[in-house]
């Protein structure tokens, strides 16, 4: 539910809505800069009533709270979610007065309906663009999956996407709070790269690691840990490989690190021992793995690398 359970009768009042929503709830601020939303003084006393009124109005439009807050969360629904969140938990006295006006819940519900309809139309357009972009596929894609674990910066994600499109990786998995297509901020910067690279979403990196390992994929974490080995010294595994890159500040999550098969790092010679996540990911995929993979695919006794265009399959009717 959005903030409360509505099993029967009136919803229970919460003493502190900000704490009740917490940091694990999307509507409580998990995907925003602030860890949790702070309500205006006195707003928490009537938040349950506004939540119930908004739910009732949204049901008239065929929209439920579960649709907005069911993980994995649709990035296109973030504007609608923020609209609900601002109405239920206004952060100023003036906003609280506006939220408590008669008929305000109906007006907010109408606005949310428009945002949801726009999100659905954008999702359909994105799906058509994605299918069209992936119709030009690689004959033998690089057997590497990139897992992006809670990277906050849109610029870093776009850089990683463009690198993956260039290297021809198998898939990109977005985890946690990582901004992902079809978010407008990603599509505007990544352009065709966002649609060309097959992608999926996982709630956590640990979940992604478990699914990959269940399909026979070896998972490496790109992290500076005590057990990390230099990347250039690692032998290329026979089975498909997945690389995990982590948050700009905290790195790869601890539970995902414990589940990984290997920890690898990039050798540095300066004072700082780590690189920006986009730089590290860009250096890892094409410079190391792609080079070794092409060497394995080259004909015996031939020093010439296969041309990139030979790996591309165009759709029927294309020249």
Distance between CA 186 and CA 195 in Å, rounded? 10
pLDDT for position 189: 85
Report yes or no on 1 lying in a domain.
no
102 and 190 housed in the same domain: no
CA torsion 309→312→315→319, rounded to 10°?
A: 10
Q: Which of 93, 128, 163 is the last residue of a domain?
A: 128
What is the radius of gyration, based on Cα positions, of the chain?
Answer: 23
Give the CB-side neighbour count of residue 319, counting CA atoms within 13 A: 0
- Can you tell me which residue has the tokens 């992608």? 199
Domain extent, residue 169, equals 138-313
Q: What number is the average pLDDT over the span 199-205?
A: 90
Q: What number is the average pLDDT over the span 149-172?
A: 89
In the chain, the percentage of residues whose pLDDT exceeds 90 is 29
* Among 174-178, 227-231, 257-261, 274-278, the least confident range: 274-278
User: How many residues belong to the chain?
Assistant: 319
32 pLDDT above the threshold of 70: no
Non-local (6+) Cβ contacts of 28 within 8 A are 3, 18, 20, 21, 22, 36, 37, 85
Give the CB-side neighbour count of residue 88, counting CA atoms within 13 A: 31
Helices (H) and strands (E) in the chain — how many of each? 13, 9
In the predicted model, what is the mean pLDDT of the chain? 76
Local confidence band at 310 (pLDDT 50, 70, 90 cut-offs): very low
* Among 200-209, 238-247, 295-304, the least confident range: 295-304
Distances (CA, A) of 288 to 117, 142, 264, 292: 44, 12, 12, 6
Distance between CA 4 and CA 21 in Å, rounded? 9
Q: What number is the average pLDDT over the span 299-319?
A: 48
185 and 43 housed in the same domain: no
Query: Closest by alpha carbon to 147, among 225, 191, 201?
Result: 201
190 and 308 housed in the same domain: yes
226 and 302 housed in the same domain: yes
202 and 264 housed in the same domain: yes
pLDDT for position 16: 33
Count up the domains in the chain and report the number: 2
114 and 237 housed in the same domain: no
The distance from CA 76 to its chain's CA centroid, rounded to whole angstroms, is: 12
142 and 123 housed in the same domain: no
Per residue in 123-134, pLDDT (tens digit) is 888 888 878 777
Highest mean pLDDT among 70-74, 140-144, 175-179: 175-179
Paired residues of 220 in beta bridges: 243, 262
DSSP label of 285:
I
**Are the C-beta atoms of 248 and 151 separated by less than 8 Å?**
yes
pLDDT for position 217: 94
* Among 100-109, 193-202, 243-252, 302-311, the least confident range: 302-311
Report yes or no on 10 lying in a domain.
no
Distance between CA 125 and CA 239 in Å, rounded? 36
Please tell me which residue, 103 or 1, carries the higher pLDDT value: 103
Q: What share of the chain is helix, strand, coil (3-state, %, to 5)?
A: 45, 15, 40
Per residue in 50-65, pLDDT (tens digit) is 988 999 999 999 988 7
Q: What number is the average pLDDT over the span 212-234?
A: 91
48 and 165 housed in the same domain: no
**Whole-model pTM?**
0.68
Q: How many CB atoms lie within 10 A of CB 86?
A: 15
């Amino acid at each position: 539910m959005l903030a409360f359970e509505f099993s029967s009768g009136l919803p229970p009042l919460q003493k502190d809505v900000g704490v009740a929503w917490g940091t694990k709830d999307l509507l409580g601020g998990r995907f925003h800069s602030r860890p949790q939303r702070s309500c205006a003084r006195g707003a928490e006393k009537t938040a349950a009533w506004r939540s119930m009124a908004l739910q009732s109005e949204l049901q008239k439009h065929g929209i439920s709270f579960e649709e907005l807050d069911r993980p994995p969360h649709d990035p296109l629904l973030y504007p609608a979610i923020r609209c609900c969140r601002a109405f239920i938990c206004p952060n100023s006295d003036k906003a609280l007065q506006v939220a408590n006006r008669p008929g305000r819940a109906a007006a907010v519900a109408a606005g949310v309906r428009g945002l949801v309809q726009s999100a659905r139309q954008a999702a359909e357009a994105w799906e058509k663009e994605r299918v069209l972009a992936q119709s030009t596929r690689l004959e033998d894609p690089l057997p590497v999956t990139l897992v992006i674990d809670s990277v906050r910066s849109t610029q870093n994600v776009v850089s990683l996407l463009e690198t993956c499109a260039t290297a021809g990786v198998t898939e990109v998995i977005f985890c946690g709070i990582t901004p992902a297509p079809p978010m407008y901020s990603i599509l505007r910067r990544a352009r065709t790269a966002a649609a060309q690279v097959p992608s999926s979403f996982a709630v956590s990196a640990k979940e992604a690691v478990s699914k990959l390992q269940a399909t026979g994929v070896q998972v490496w974490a790109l992290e500076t840990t005590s057990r990390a080995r230099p990347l250039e010294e690692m032998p290329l595994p026979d089975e498909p490989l997945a690389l995990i890159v982590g948050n700009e500040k905290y790195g790869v999550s601890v539970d995902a690190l414990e589940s990984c098969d290997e920890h690898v790092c990039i050798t540095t010679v300066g004072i700082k021992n780590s690189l920006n996540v986009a730089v590290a990911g860009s250096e890892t995929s094409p410079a190391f793995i792609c080079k070794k993979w092409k060497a394995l695919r080259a004909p015996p006794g031939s020093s010439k690398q296969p041309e990139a265009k030979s790996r591309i399959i165009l759709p029927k009717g294309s020249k």
